[in-house]
Amino acid sequence: MTTIRICTALLFLMSAASAAANRQTVLTHYLTAAQETPSAERGRSLWNRSGIRGRNCTQCHGRDLRRPGRHRRTHKPIAPMAPSGNPKRLTDPKKVEKWFRRNCKWTWGRECTAQEKADILQWLNTL
Ligand code: HEC
């Protein structure tokens, strides 16, 4: 019984550690193309910045990123953006890139720069 419990705890710790390592890898990918060290403070203000036609990132992801969001148009729920509320978040480079491309275009009318993505990830990773 105790062995099973210890194994479960170890597995949990190992998967949490590898998710954190994957988030770091995703961030490093953008950092190689960014000009400056990433800033969580800049990331937070980018997230709240108003884009085209008054759009912004919180409109679908919500104000409290530890809680689920809701798609502005389809009203479908969106899982929490904060890794603390959703350990799979920001661990898959293809998924991160795909949604940055879509959402930056929709919200800001253009793609985000590598610097902006690095800043936003730096901030999200603290949540
Ligand atoms: C119109 C609704 C909408 C807006 C506005 C929006 N998003 Fe999203 N976003 C989504 C949906 C839907 C997903 C994919 C579903 C999911 O991952 O739960 C997603 C996923 C993401 C992901 C991928 C997360 C992961 O786990 O890899 C990132 C990064 C992201 N959004 C960033 C942004 C940023 C930055 C903005 C503002 C510039 C933004 N989003 C605005 C709907 C939106």
Task: Provide residues with CB under 6 Å of ligand 1.
Answer: 55, 57, 59-61, 71-72, 78-79, 89-90, 92, 95-96, 99-100, 103-104, 106-108, 120
* Residue 59: how many other CB atoms lie within 10 Å: 17
pLDDT tens digits, the chain, 127 residues: what are they? 677 777 777 777 777 778 999 999 999 999 988 889 999 999 999 999 999 999 999 999 999 999 999 998 899 999 999 999 899 999 999 999 999 999 999 999 999 999 999 999 999 999 9
Ligand 1 pocket: which of 61, 89, 101, 121 to mutate (most atoms <8 Å of CB)?
A: 61
Counting from 1 in the atom list of ligand 1, the atom nearest the Cα of 79 is 18
* Centre of ligand 1 from the C-alpha of residue 8, in Å: 32
67-99 as b/e: b if 16+ CB within 10 A: eebeeeeeeeeeebbbbeebeebbbeeeebeee
